Chains A and B, each alone.
Chain A
Amino acid sequence: MEPLIQLRNLEKVVEAGPNKFFLLRRINLDIQQGEFVTIMGPSGAGKSTLLSIIGMLDGAWSGDYFFLGEAVHKLNVKKRNELHKANIGFVFQSYHLIDNLTVFENLEVPLSYKNVPHKERVSLVCDALDRFHIVGKKDLFPNQLSGGQQQLVGVARAVILSPKLILADEPTGNLHSAQGEEIMELFKKLNDAGTTIIQVTHSERNASYGHRIIQLKDGWVVSETATAGARATVSHPA
């Protein structure tokens, strides 16, 4: 099967005056469809930057990036946005729900950006509310929900368009352990159903839900480790 993501010699540089700083160096990575990958590493290692590039939110990098065989590095902004809209869902550490929209309306947002007709939109939102057991919360605003509930809505919003890939940046970082576990179980279920998941986390426990751990340090991939059922460990020079 064709890999979902292929990164070849991907680099990200920022310039500060005469100096150049590499945020990512020569990243070569394949992620298969249906994988649950965890990116780990110390602060400043480039985890979130890599996630942003994979999520097509950041276009300023060099190297090759293929998504389902499509050369992302050759796409213009509009086409990249289309690809992102069609295939990727995001879950954030701070949930990033829109404060002035109700739960129902927050779930509607990605659908409206895809110009889904109203009837279908309502139907999809109702399905999501039902699926994530938050029907009773549909008219509440984010500040009327607990952190766990907010993240539940965040995940529901990320999957409402049945994306092929979910990118989660520290999804349980602001939650207490029970809530965090609940969210991770949810991810597991989604992954079992075929959705590819890439998460950034500091938590070993959360990482154990996935198939593979990619360690980053100073912008380099320093290791790739399989988790449960791991068969190989590949080390790279730092």
Chain B
Amino acid sequence: METIWQDVRFGVRMLIKHRIATIVCVVALGLGIGANTAIFSLAEAFLLHPVPFENSDRIVALVDSHVASQDSGAGFGPQDLNAVAPATYLDWIKEVHSFDDLAAYAWDEVNLTGDREAQKVQDFKVTANFFPMIGVQPLLGRTFLPEEEEPGRNQEIILSYGLWEQRYASDPNVLKRVIKVDGKSFNIVGVMKKGFDFPMPAEAWIPLALDVKERLRRDNRWLWVLGRLRPGVTFAEGAAEMQAISERQAEIYPDTNKAWRLQPQPLRQFITGTLTRQYTVLLMVAVGFVLLIACADVANVQFARITGRTSEFAVRTALGGSRWRVVRQLLIESIMLSLVGAALGLFLAQWDIQMILAHMPPDVARFVAGWKTIRLDRNAFLFALVIAVFSGVISGIAPSLLGSRASIAETLKEGGRGSSVSRTRHRLRGALVVAEVALALVLLVGAGLMVKGFQGLLNVNESYAPQTLLTFNYSLPEVQYAPAAARLNFSEQIMRRLGSVSGVQAASMVTYVPYADGGGINEREFSIEGRPLTQRGATRTAIVETVAPNYFNTLNIALRDGRLLSDTDGAESPQAAVISESLARRYFSGENPLGRHIKDGKVEAEGKWMTVVGVVNDVRYSWIVKDDVPTIYRSFRQAPPFYTTVVLRTAGDPLKFVSAARAEIAAVDANLPLYNIKPMDKVITESIVGIAYVATMMAVLGAIALVLASVGVFGVMSYSVSERTHEIGIRMSMGAQTGNVLALVLRSGMLLTVLGLAIGLPAAFLLARALSSLLYGVQAADPAAFIGLPLLLFAVAGIACYLPARRAAHLDPLRALRHD
């Protein structure tokens, strides 16, 4: 132990002595370790702590996936996961043995009124066993009772801590209150603990009550089911049993279940989501590359330092030091460098995390599982320590082993040189530079593609000038607006009122604006008259939008064929629909869709057939889905909606019209809360904020990789020039001109760069293929990325080679000849 302390003391002295080299290494390792620690903190939050309660390991999400989406999935990209139908869930409860409890929840939104100003709240309908199953107790009151699952008796609500704090000022007597939820009286029976918002982003919970009709439905998939594995049952066993049950159901109910396959997932995996996991892994790989490049830089610096210390190691060996002691001395120095780098890295990681947290819009953050747990915690410190030691070892091991291998007898002789070790060292240093360039190219291409893809996402929406669009939502309470006429009357009034506000160029409405809900797409089944589905269980799906007729003009969606919806498409007129080009292409290929009849839902569903009157351009709805999504538009006059998004085209800043819009709507219904009030460009940027983060981080990592790789090339070439000074002196004395010396040095440096590029290009292409399935607008064979970025790297490496080459070319031949 004491001898280790001696080595540490000596190491400190050596690091101080070679200050410049130490600073270069510490900065390189600090960047690498800092980036890794920051991404580790994100990964820890997203992958390990995505749910706000303990012991989630035994909870399994029982979700369905459409067979078609599974077959088309390439294994990389978003995964299509769906809820299940109530009858399916109830069958499972009867049949399953591997799970000791199954609970269900459903997304819901309610308006709170009565006691304070109207507020829209994100709630979840949950079964009574939901909270006991996940093992969560309320802070105040109780959870739901089984009898409260009865329709008509489900008039209880549990508040989240945040809602209790914000709306009821943390009133300890809140449990005695009766509040209005969508116009009905509800008792507050509980308040959950601080931070509990599961399923995200719950603000309240109400009992899930299924009526008799609903309990029999197998086609309406809206329940998300969680199961708790019995003690001793593994996930694989539970999943296998559930899949067997699901397959039996598919045989019995082919019309509704044949096209679906159960995809049980551990709760953490389900909550994190495929995309978050894939992007997190992508970033982890990217920061891993940066760390490897930094380690290669440090290894090169260590090689240079060790070369100057060959005689020291020989003396140590001659004095009885074993090879291991010499290696240990060097490794300790290397690990000390890494530890100092880790200290710097922790500061950088803390700064990174602050930047990441500060720039995430709260409206988005509340949907990101694990976001609240992002911090530099004890695990992050431990991680930084572990990768510091790892970096110290991998950057120091080769130089240490080679440094300790030099021929002692040869080295201790006057003017002796260990030439074979020196050649190995040269080869290794060259290999490190090649690896650095290759890794940097992969990162640069990855970053370039991400940035380009992100830019493409922004550009694709420019056609509807989102900067001057104001959007907001409302949900009409079911009790008050049950008659279609009431909803129509409300919609007509607000369209008229909002349209007359000074500065509003057009007032329109649509069910979902593009990029709403973070880019999630709400497709529904539809039918085509006279064309039954040939395969049992197959479906036709499309986004079904209920719009005001001027919606197309407001968003600059061009007409391709037929006509747009008009004000004459009223409640009493024949039902009309406009379809998107992608729908026409997919379902009316080679025929004219105009005049054909389609229906929202199955053929036998209630509702009238709609006549296709026009075809319009496609609108991109999501950054997740790369293909155009078939869309059906119908008029709000023929299907007055409960839920809608109002879209106002304004002259200038849309936010200036918020108060006027509130006043106009309050004049029609004072109790109706408006929410998601945002300019359209904010809707888009919030939807793609995740990808913006990834693109920004990749761009920063790419830039760091470029700098580190060029530092590596510069370091190796500088060292090579100083090693070859004597040789260069001889060449100059024999007539070599400045150009010859320049070429001599540049050639060797650029050869390494070209080798690195040649190795990096195929690896970058593989990465590009993976990215192209992740992001719209990314092509695996992107010429800009595969020509421009290698050229950039080549140019930067060229500058890094040129500087030492110029120094070599300007050497004084006489002094060079005297150089030892």
Residues of A at the B interface (CB closer than 8 Å) are 48-49, 52, 55, 57-58, 78, 81, 84-85, 90, 92-94, 96-101, 105, 108-110, 112-115, 118, 157, 169-170, 173
CB proximity of A161 to chain B, nearest CB, Å: 8
In chain B between 1 and 47, which residues have their CB closer than 8 angstroms to a CB of chain A? 2-3, 6, 10, 13-14, 17
Instruction: State the CA gap A96–B14 with chains docked (Å).
Output: 17
Which chain A positions have C-beta within 8 A of B10? 100-101, 105
Q: Evaluate contact between A110 and B320: CB separation under 8 angstroms.
A: yes
What would 6 A/B residue contacts be, using CB atoms closer than 8 Å?
A52-B408, A84-B320, A94-B311, A100-B13, A110-B319, A170-B414
Q: Contacting B409 at CB < 8 Å: which of A57, A99, A105?
A: A57
Q: Evaluate contact between B311 and A48: CB separation under 8 angstroms.
A: no
CB proximity of A158 to chain B, nearest CB, Å: 8
- Not counting A112-B6, A114-B320, a sample of 15 additional A-B residue pairs whose C-beta atoms are within 8 angstroms of each other reads A48-B409, A52-B409, A57-B408, A57-B409, A92-B315, A94-B311, A96-B318, A98-B315, A109-B316, A109-B319, A110-B319, A113-B316, A113-B322, A115-B3, A169-B413
Q: Evaluate contact between A100 and B14: CB separation under 8 angstroms.
A: yes
CB proximity of B14 to chain A, nearest CB, Å: 6
CB proximity of B418 to chain A, nearest CB, Å: 13
Q: Evaluate contact between B321 and A58: CB separation under 8 angstroms.
A: no
Instruction: State the CA gap A105–B14 with chains docked (Å).
Output: 14
Which chain A positions have C-beta within 8 A of B321? 109, 113
Known: A96-B311, A115-B3. A157 touches B13 (CB 8 A): no
Known: A100-B10, A110-B319. A118 touches B312 (CB 8 A): no
Q: Evaluate contact between B320 and A99: CB separation under 8 angstroms.
A: no
Which chain B positions have C-beta within 8 A of A157? 319
In chain B between 276 and 325, which residues have their CB closer than 8 angstroms to a CB of chain A? 311-312, 314-322, 325
Which chain A positions have C-beta within 8 A of B3? 112, 115
A78 nearest CB neighbor, chain B only: B322
Q: Tell me how many residues of B have a C-beta within 8 Å of chain A.
A: 24
B311 nearest CB neighbor, chain A only: A96
Q: Evaluate contact between A98 and B320: CB separation under 8 angstroms.
A: no
Residues of B at the A interface (CB closer than 8 Å) are 2-3, 6, 10, 13-14, 17, 311-312, 314-322, 325, 408-409, 412-414
Which chain A positions have C-beta within 8 A of B312? 98-99
Q: Contacting B17 at CB < 8 Å: which of A78, A92, A100, A109?
A: A100
CB proximity of B154 to chain A, nearest CB, Å: 78
Q: Evaluate contact between B318 and A113: CB separation under 8 angstroms.
A: no
Q: Contacting B315 at CB < 8 Å: which of A96, A114, A170?
A: A96
Which chain A positions have C-beta within 8 A of B13? 100
Which chain A positions have C-beta within 8 A of B322? 78, 81, 113
Q: Evaluate contact between A49 and B409: CB separation under 8 angstroms.
A: yes
Which chain A positions have C-beta within 8 A of B412? 52, 57, 92, 96, 169
CB proximity of A91 to chain B, nearest CB, Å: 10
Which chain B positions have C-beta within 8 A of A94? 311, 414
B321 nearest CB neighbor, chain A only: A113
Q: Evaluate contact between B409 and A113: CB separation under 8 angstroms.
A: no
Instruction: State the CA gap A8–B412 with chains docked (Å).
Output: 25
Closest 3 CB pairs of A and B: A52-B409, A85-B320, A113-B320
B415 nearest CB neighbor, chain A only: A94
Instruction: State the CA gap A195–B774 with chains docked (Å).
Output: 77
CB proximity of A61 to chain B, nearest CB, Å: 11
CB proximity of B97 to chain A, nearest CB, Å: 63
CB proximity of B186 to chain A, nearest CB, Å: 77
Which chain A positions have C-beta within 8 A of B320? 81, 84-85, 110, 113-114
Q: Evaluate contact between A93 and B414: CB separation under 8 angstroms.
A: yes
Q: Evaluate contact between A55 and B414: CB separation under 8 angstroms.
A: no
Instruction: State the CA gap A221–B325 with chains docked (Å).
Output: 36
Which chain A positions have C-beta within 8 A of B408? 52, 57-58
Instruction: State the CA gap A55–B412 with chains docked (Å).
Output: 12
CB proximity of A47 to chain B, nearest CB, Å: 10
Instruction: State the CA gap A41–B740 with chains docked (Å).
Output: 44
CB proximity of B327 to chain A, nearest CB, Å: 14
CB proximity of B420 to chain A, nearest CB, Å: 11
Which chain B positions have C-beta within 8 A of A100? 10, 13-14, 17
Instruction: State the CA gap A81–B312 with chains docked (Å).
Output: 18
Instruction: State the CA gap A94–B414 with chains docked (Å).
Output: 7
Q: Evaluate contact between A90 and B409: CB separation under 8 angstroms.
A: no
B16 nearest CB neighbor, chain A only: A100
Q: Evaluate contact between B409 and A58: CB separation under 8 angstroms.
A: yes
Best-buried of B314, B316, B320 by chain A (most CB within 10 Å):
B320
Instruction: State the CA gap A105–B312 with chains docked (Å).
Output: 14
Instruction: State the CA gap A152–B311 with chains docked (Å).
Output: 19
CB proximity of B339 to chain A, nearest CB, Å: 20
Which chain A positions have C-beta within 8 A of B409? 48-49, 52, 57-58
CB proximity of A28 to chain B, nearest CB, Å: 21
A51 nearest CB neighbor, chain B only: B409
Which chain B positions have C-beta within 8 A of A109? 316, 319, 321
Instruction: State the CA gap A144–B324 with chains docked (Å).
Output: 31
Which chain B positions have C-beta within 8 A of A57? 317-318, 408-409, 412
Which chain B positions have C-beta within 8 A of A170? 414
CB proximity of A93 to chain B, nearest CB, Å: 6
A85 nearest CB neighbor, chain B only: B320
Q: Evaluate contact between A90 and B319: CB separation under 8 angstroms.
A: yes
Q: Evaluate contact between A48 and B413: CB separation under 8 angstroms.
A: yes
Best-buried of A96, A108, A118 by chain B (most CB within 10 Å):
A96
Which chain B positions have C-beta within 8 A of A114? 320
B413 nearest CB neighbor, chain A only: A48
Best-buried of B10, B311, B325, B412 by chain A (most CB within 10 Å):
B412
Q: Contacting A98 at CB < 8 Å: which of B316, B413, B414?
A: B316
Which chain A positions have C-beta within 8 A of B315? 92, 96-98
Best-buried of A57, A93, A110, A114 by chain B (most CB within 10 Å):
A57
Which chain B positions have C-beta within 8 A of A49? 409
Which chain B positions have C-beta within 8 A of A169? 412-413
B408 nearest CB neighbor, chain A only: A57
Which chain B positions have C-beta within 8 A of A99? 312
CB proximity of A59 to chain B, nearest CB, Å: 10
Which chain B positions have C-beta within 8 A of A173? 414
